[in-house]
Amino acid sequence: MTSLVDVQKLDFQHRDIAFMREALKEAKKAFEEDEVPVGAVLVINHKIVSRGHNQVELLQDATAHAEIICMTAGAGAIGNWRLSDATLYSTLEPCTMCAGAMLSSRLKRLVWAAPDIRQGANGSWIDIFAMKHPMHAIEVTRQVLQDEASELMRTFFQKQRASSKQQ
């Protein structure tokens, strides 16, 4: 459950900003754990049902992306793999793996913050969602709080580069 006060009364745009701020909190957790700072929250009926942040290094698992962790936890929380009433907020444009998982889980809506020029699957590298899917389409909102998410990424990679030079 989010700590936000009465998000139901917020308009659509402000609601997206409020939930993206919660995803940014998750990204900051990843940052503190020396993981690429990506965070996600899954929202159903204006309530956060799950959270996730990157855990690739911790788990030594290339699939332990924030979005996958969040969707898996969300499916467990609601007792259904179909996330057809859910919105996923992610601080980074999803990669092809995460985009495929979103389509497979029948996610209703995706809201993301920063583009990912290396692996972005919503137009930065390839656009999975632009292709007509035979069974499902996801509503996408891009670049909500892009500057904050991008700055967190920049800071993380500057820190990583500085750390590797000292070794």
**Which among 67, 93, 148, 151 is annotated as catalytic?**
67
Report the C-alpha gap between 68 and 53 in whole angstroms.
Answer: 9
For β-strands 39-44 and 139-141, DSSP reports them as unpaired
Report in angstroms the alpha-carbon separations of 99 from 1, 30, 94, 165. Answer: 25, 20, 6, 34
Report the C-alpha gap between 120 and 144 in whole angstroms.
Answer: 15
DSSP letters of 8-53? GGS-HHHHHHHHHHHHHHHHHHHHHTTS---EEEEEETTEEEEEEE
151 belongs to the catalytic site: no
Active site residues per annotation: 67
